[in-house]
Amino acid sequence: MSSNGNTQLIFTLQGDQNQLVANFGPFLPLQLSGTLQDMLNVIADTEEAVQTAVTAALSPATSTLDLVGYFLGVIVPSQPILKAVTPQSVTLPQGLTGSFAYCDTAPTTAVSCPINRSTAGVTTQIGSVNFAAGYTTGTFTFASDVTTLPGDVIEVLAPPSIDATFAGPSLGLSCNVSVAAGYVVEKQAAYTPMTLDRNGLIVMNAGDGTVNTLPAGTGTGGGFPNGWRTGFLNISPSVLTLAVQSGASLNGVLNGTIALVHGQSAELWTDGANWFATVGA
């Protein structure tokens, strides 16, 4: 009991203080009121939210890479209608979420196009693209995530038995690519971050008046989704300006900017639309 007669619940978090603030700061202090059950419900909800945040923080950052193809002409049974080499490891997600399949002319009877992966000389079917009779939009059968090795080949084949009307298949297979956990790169001219700059530090050593425009957020997917982050450090003697795309906000200011003098840094996050920054000394 406190001196004013109110019950106080005290939580102690152990570990690196900076990391604790980063992970748990948004959830504290807990607003407890009402009955004991009300307070227990708030604690349980907060515990779940913290666990979700920790899981997200520990998950590897990913970007997307698309394998696309269009076949024009007479289709021969089992011939490739999409063939792509993956120069880096990519993951095709279960169900091929985010992928699309269309055809110019719908089949008269249902057709299924095998999806194969070839690695180290061994070819294995990993799924299929399916077109129902009379439909020009396809669906996917893909039971689980498949991660390729550099140099693997992903191939979609025409059906083994050709439907006379099926024509013009166009495919877009969406893959996930792991993004580096962080790296440092130096730039000597104005620079707009790219998707692979996620979790990186961009060291600027450019001339006076340099304006670095942040990319447009891409919602919940794409190259700059909610949670995408990067950092800037100004090591030049000149002032560095960070700006957003027209119509976006920075720290709640429409078309806002941040000026960094020599030795200052900024860490930046997007919620998929606008930008938020913390500026260090």
Alpha helices in the chain (DSSP H): 17-24, 36-58
Taking the chain (281 residues) in runs of 10, the rounded mean pLDDT of each run is: 49 49 55 76 72 54 81 92 90 95 96 97 97 98 93 96 94 84 84 87 87 91 84 94 96 95 94 94 69
pLDDT at 142: 97
pLDDT at 49: 67
Give me the phi and psi of 217, to 5 degrees please: -65, 155
pLDDT at 18: 47
In the DSSP assignment, the letter for residue 14 is: -
E strands, 57-209, in order? 62-70, 80-86, 91-92, 100-105, 111-119, 122-131, 139-141, 146-147, 152-157, 167-178, 184-187, 201-204
Beta carbons within 10 angstroms of residue 265's beta carbon? 18
**From CA 222, how far away is CA 108, in angstroms rounded?**
35
**From CA 115, how far away is CA 154, in angstroms rounded?**
7
pLDDT at 8: 52
pLDDT at 2: 43
Q: What tokens does 76 get?
A: 């021969």
Spell out the long-range contacts of 201-206 with Cβ–Cβ below 8 A and sequence spacing 24 or more. Answer: 201/230, 201/231, 201/232, 201/233, 201/265, 202/230, 202/231, 202/232, 202/233, 203/232, 203/233, 203/235, 204/232, 204/233, 204/234, 204/235, 204/236, 204/240, 204/260, 205/235, 205/236, 206/236, 206/238, 206/240
The residue type found at 44 is: A
pLDDT at 19: 47
Provide CB contacts within 8 A for 133, sequence distance 6+: 106, 107, 108, 109, 110
The residue type found at 159 is: P
- What does the buried/exposed string (b/e) look like for 81-108 if buried means 16 or more CB atoms within 10 Å of the residue's CB? bbebebeeebebbeebeebbbbbeebbe
Provide CB contacts within 8 A for 17, sequence distance 6+: none
CB 109 within 8 A of CB 161: no
pLDDT at 104: 96
pLDDT at 59: 54
pLDDT at 22: 47
pLDDT at 219: 86
pLDDT at 7: 52
Residue range 38-80, pLDDT digits in tens = 777 777 777 776 666 555 544 555 677 889 999 998 899 999 9
pTM here is: 0.50
CA atoms within 13 A on the CB side of 139: 6
Residue range 108-137, pLDDT digits in tens = 999 999 999 999 999 999 999 999 999 999
Cross-strand bridge partners of residue 253 = 250
